[in-house]
Amino acid sequence: MTEARRLKSDRTKADEKIAKGCDVTVVTAADPLIHHRNVIPAAIKQAFGADSRYDLLSFPDFPAAFDDGAVAQLAHDVETAISLHRVEKVLVLEPDGKGQPYAALLAHHFRGTKVEVKSAPTFVGERRSYRTLVVTCMDWRLHGEGGFLTRCLRSMPEEYGIMTVPGVVKDLAAGDKFRSRWVRGQILNGVLNRGVERIMLVSHTDCGKYGGSAAFRHNYLDEIQALREDLRLAVRLAADHRDGSTFSLPANVSLETAIASLQIDALCTVF
């Protein structure tokens, strides 16, 4: 076997290995206290009786994710987790601990299915400020104690909030579509109401929004190029909207981009 074929075979095997699913989708707020302690793993174990890997749907404005127009988007994201990662359990971690019927709103969309929706309070509140907001995909391989992105960001000198939706960079690069505007609104909420001054926009390889690495025939360079183009487009659109229009980032907010390369276990900065 030639060296090129061997490398391609190794990458294909790696893609197949990392594409296997998780057990739970967690829906919660972006607050660092939820993501930087044992809150999520402990809540999953209490709700379902076992430790589990999890996809993550996390929002700076948690209640807004359950508004009349938005909850259908949220249900669609859960369906994405189901189709990509074989998830049939959902845990809604309610940040205010007041027993709001958020889980019931989501469960309504899955009546008559095998999807099990449970809720748990976190009692950490959701009005804390955080300087950095990491915006990335829901993919379980990025999150949790052993998650790739979690490990990469351990050296950060401060706690960071985290916003996650499926294929968020591709959504942002789509421009003025409803989905893109909704995602932008969540980011802007973090900037205006949480004191965010730095946004880290992180894409990743083998993303289901692109059809996974298989959509690029496991050509790593082609895949990285596509991710870079969407990151640059997302940044350009954000810059174009710093004029007071629908999505307006204050001038003091920095916007950084990176790609989490799951195959080679590296976080690459994109300029």
Residue linked to tokens 């979690």: 150
What whole-number distance in Å separates Cα of residue 118 and Cα of residue 32?
A: 22
Q: What's the pLDDT at 7?
A: 42
Of these ranges, 68-77, 125-134, 202-211, the one predicted with the greatest mean pLDDT is 202-211
- pLDDT single digits (tens) 76-101: 999 999 888 888 899 999 877 665 68
CA 150 to chain centre: 12
Answer with the residue of higher pLDDT: 179 or 75.
Answer: 75
Q: What's the pLDDT at 3?
A: 46
